Structures are given as structure tokens and as C-alpha cells.
Chains A and B, each alone.
Chain A
Amino acid sequence: MKLRIMLALAITALTAGSLAAQTTGHASATTRDQNGSPTLPAQSATKDSAQVYDSQALRFESRWGSADIIRGAKGEVIGTVGWFREFDLEKVLQSSPHALTEAHDFRVNNFRGSLVTAIGASLVTIGIVVAANNSNNASTPILIIAGAGGIGWGLQHLNKSYAALSRAVWWYNRDLSNH
């Protein structure tokens, strides 16, 4: 009885190891030869992955309140987002579900942030102009304080939006490498 149990356990252990190796995929199973150096299929896969990344991976670069979306190592600008721009980022990132969710967050927060920051800046400017004209107007401090509050709230949302954009690009590049 003990013998059967031992045999069953041993076979289970071997099968588990074998199954784990299969489910991880051929790439990982053939990654290294006996000397620990990458084998040809693994080298090829790595090279392909790097080439895909070189040509397709995205990043963004900020530019005075907007951000250029840039593709690949050559730095091709495929669009500009932010400050009421109409570029459809979600369409670009649609191949990655996670990236799409983050892109949606980016769009919502960026619009709110841009709108409220612009209103806040306008209020501050009006307040400064009124104060500079030596007008004894009680609304001046209210305008400046309300405007500064608006700018603060808007910048917080803009900050959130760029954090979401960063996550979106990360997920897109991640899923790019898994395809």
C-alpha cells in the first residue's frame, strides 16, 4: 500500500514538473543550452521582441502643457494630447485592454484639469489686472483666491491624467512585447 502511494506521489511530482514546463511555453523551455548561453530560437525571439519594441513602443514627451506621443526608436510623433487636443489616444492603444482603461482615465482627468486650470488662470489674470489698475474693488482678492484654488485643483487633475498616460503607455508597450 505504501509502495503504491509512493509511486503515485513520485509520478505526480514528475507530471507536475513536466506540465509546468509545458504551460510556460516553448520560449522559456528552450531559452538556454547547457552552458547557460541563449539558444538560437531564444535569441531569435529576443531579437524579434526588441525589433518590435524599437519600431512600435510608445513614449510621451511633455511640451508646454501638452504631450507628444512618440513611437519607436526613431522618435516619430504620432499625435499630441492635452490642452483641449483632439487626438484619439484610445484608438492607438486599443490593442491593450489595460492601456485602454488608463487612456480613458487620462482623457477624463486631462479635460477636467485643463478646463479648470484655464478658468482659474483667467480669474487670477483678471484679479491682477483689476488690482494693477488701483481699483478699490472688493472682488479682487476673491478672484485671485478662487483662481488660485482652481489652478491648484486643475493641476492636481492634470497630474493624475499624466500618471494615467504613463500607465497607459507602459501597459501598451508591455502587451506589445507579449504579442
Chain B
Amino acid sequence: MRGLFIACLLTGLATMGVTIESGGQVTAYDEGALRVDAAPGLRIVRGVRDSVVLNLSEFRRTGLADLVASSPNARAEAEVFEKNYRPGSLYAGAGIALFGLNLGLSSMQPRPGIAGWLIPVSVGLIVYGGYRLQLAYRGLQKAVWWYNRDLKS
């Protein structure tokens, strides 16, 4: 009788286990879907719990392509992000630094001659860096979209 009881108990528990396992597919999006979080800093979070899976650094390779490698389309878009994010950040950062330098020089009397070309150079760097960053962000959003899409197929 005890054997029958244990058998029934194990069957019930096994049924519950299988149910939970298969139920994970229904909630694959809840558990695995990625999202770009913009504050503080750029990072990738996963699922409804918002667990941080990747911090996107401006100064080194981020590893986004590896994170979304299970989806070929997402990986291709992640490469676009990787290719543009660092250069974009560096150009825009250099432009902002030069702009700040120009502000500092403009308060000096007499004004140094270098200040004349600092503004156009800094604006050019900011615009070019911004353009590269936009390409990067588009790639990032598309990568996340494709990754989440392929979670369902």
C-alpha cells in the first residue's frame, strides 16, 4: 500500500513538473525577451524581472552579438551596433570636449587664434558622432526586436 502511495505521489509530482516545464514555453517572452534600458547608462535587461544581462560600454566591445547569437538576423544587426557605437561615442565625446575647450578659451582676453576653428570642428565631430550613434541605436533596436521575435519560432 505504501508503494502505491509513493507511486501515486511521484506520478502527481512528475505531472506537475512536466506541466511547469512546458508552461515555460508559453512564458518564453516573459522570461527571455530582451529590452534596452536607457537609465543609468545603456544596458540590456531580460524578462519581466528586468535582470541586467549586458552593460553596453562605449570604450570596448560589448558582446551584444554573442548575446543574441541564437537569432541570425539579430546577430547581423548587433554587428551594425558594434561597428558604430564605439566610434560614434568617441567622435561625439571629442566634439563635446572641444566645444568645452572653446567655451573656456572664449573667456580669455585676448582671444587665442585657435578658438576660431574650434567651433566648426567640434560641431562637425558632434554631428558625425551623432550620426554613427544613430546607426548604432537603430542596429541595437533591430537586434533586440529580431531576438524577441525569434523567441517565438
Contacts and interface: CB of A to CB of B under 8 A. Distances in A.
Interface of A: 3, 6-7, 9-18, 20-21, 24-25, 27-29, 31-32, 46-47, 49-50, 53-54, 57, 59-64, 73, 128, 131-132, 134, 141, 144, 159-160, 162-163, 166-167, 170, 173-174, 177-178
Contact of B37 (A49, A166, A177): A166
A10 B5 contact: yes
Contact of A167 (B2, B16, B18, B35): B35
B106 A128 contact: yes
A166 B153 contact: no
A174 B153 contact: no
B57 interface: no
A42 B39 CA distance: 38
Contacts of B15: 14, 17-18, 20-21
Interface in B1-59: 1-2, 4-5, 8-9, 11-16, 18-20, 22-23, 25-26, 29-30, 33, 35-39, 48
Could you tell me the dominant secondary structure of chain B's interface residues?
Answer: helix
Contact of A61 (B13, B48, B138): B138
Interface residues of B, number: 45
A31 B25 contact: yes
A14 B39 contact: no
Given A46-B153, A159-B39, A59 B141 contact: yes
Contact of B39 (A25, A160, A174): A160
